[in-house]
Amino acid sequence: MRLRLFTALLTIVMAGNSAAEVPVVVTDIPPIQSLVASVMGDLGEPVLLTTSTADPHHIQLRPSQARALSDADLVFWVAAELTPWLEHGLQTLAGDAVVTALLQSPGTRIRYFADDTAALDAHAWLDPENARIWLANIASVLSSADPDNRDTYRRNAAVTGAEIDQLQLFVSETLDPAQGKQLIFAHDGFGYFSDRFNLNAVGVIADGNANTPGAAHLRVIKALLRSGSIACIVSEPRQNPAILHTLIDDFPIPVVELDPIGSNLDVGKQLYRDLILNIAVGIADCVNASD
């Protein structure tokens, strides 16, 4: 009798522990890892697939990354438009995981690259309003997988959303010197940020896929530079610097290097907010340097 009672109690305890188990979560790029980490809070740390120095568009899965996908219960990624290399891995390695493409979250504001209206711009996290929408989706998916911690996920998403609201107000104030100033971007990767904060992006050197610009396009950019109206050029790491130097060597225009995925920032809950703030401060300082 005692043995049966002990066995029954042990079964109940083990079932309770299983129900409360936090899912194993994998994310694709640092901003997404940061948003998911903010929602999970102290319950767990989402795995980040990409390294800080890697180009998220072109990555060959390493054994450790393949294992992470195989072990995942949940995967949050932007979409195949940003990381096409991950699509096959999700199909072959993460077959049992619940996969969420955040770009497909209802309410997400979508834009298309200026050079090709058929090409979807996947850099949607750079619009903080999209990030707020994604927080709610992340909390919903986590809650479905781990209902015991539903209240924690929803509360963390709400708190982080309120912080992003305050961040947007601060960024708008920070970017006040840039309002009306003409900017050129080395790559069409900051469109969501420019649109949200009403920046005047008059040209991009490389298209959304970072293809090398042709001679005709470079002539257009040089004409803009000669006009004397460009206040700042925004470049990115991992881009070929030779083209940029060829264009700007004859023009005294300030240049700032900014990374849309925050590869120079510490991975974790604060990264997303640091990323948006650093972009704003970098552009504002660059514009001020031209005065």
For residue 230, give the H/E element and its range: strand 230-235
Q: Looking at residue 291, what is its pLDDT?
A: 73
pLDDT band of residue 209 (cuts 50, 70, 90) is low
pLDDT in the model for residue 14: 35
Q: Are residues 151 and 35 in the same domain?
A: yes
Residue 189 lies in a domain: yes
Residues 214 and 249 in one domain: yes
Q: Name every residue whose Cβ is closer than 8 Å to that of residue 181 and which is 6 or more positions away in sequence.
A: 200, 231, 232, 287, 290
| C-alpha radius of gyration, the chain, whole number | 22
Q: pLDDT grade, residue 60 (50/70/90)? A: low
**Any domain includes 13:** no
**Residue with the larger pLDDT of the pair 21 and 130:** 130
What pLDDT score does 282 carry? 97
- Whether residue 78 is predicted with pLDDT greater than 70 in this model: the reply is yes
pLDDT number for residue 55:
59
Last residue of a domain, one of 171, 202, 229: 171
Q: What confidence tier does 19 reach under pLDDT thresholds 50, 70, 90?
A: very low
Q: How far apart are CA 48 and CA 29, in angstroms?
A: 6
Assess whether 223 and 111 both reside in one domain: no
According to DSSP, residue 50 is labeled S
Same-domain pairing of 122 and 35: yes
**Do 265 and 149 have their domain in common?**
no
The model's pLDDT over 226-243, given as tens digits with 9 standing for 90+, comes to 888 999 999 988 766 677
Residues 51 and 75 grouped into a single domain: yes
User: Are 47 and 86 part of one and the same domain?
Assistant: yes
Residues 58 and 162 in one domain: yes
Domain extent at residue 219: 177-289
Q: What is the pTM of this model?
A: 0.88
Do the beta carbons of residue 121 and residue 112 sit within 8 Å?
A: yes
CB atoms within 10 A of CB 41: 16
Give yes or no: residues 271 and 194 share one domain: yes
Is residue 144 domain-shared with residue 181, that is, in the same domain?
A: no
Q: Which of 89-98, 100-109, 147-156, 190-199 has the lowest mean pLDDT?
A: 89-98
**CATH assignment at residue 212:** 3.40.50.1980
- On whether both 28 and 165 belong to a single domain, the answer is yes
- Same-domain pairing of 239 and 259: yes
Task: Supply the pLDDT for residue 182.
Answer: 96
Average pLDDT, the chain: 86
Domain end (from 171, 196, 226): 171
Report yes or no on 16 lying in a domain: no
The count of other CB atoms within 10 Å of the CB of residue 162 is 11
Task: Domain count for the chain, please give it.
Answer: 2
| Residue where one domain finishes, among candidates 140, 171, 202 | 171
Q: What is the mean pLDDT of residues 16-32?
A: 79
Give 85's contacts (C-beta < 8 A, 6+ positions apart). 57, 58, 59, 60, 61
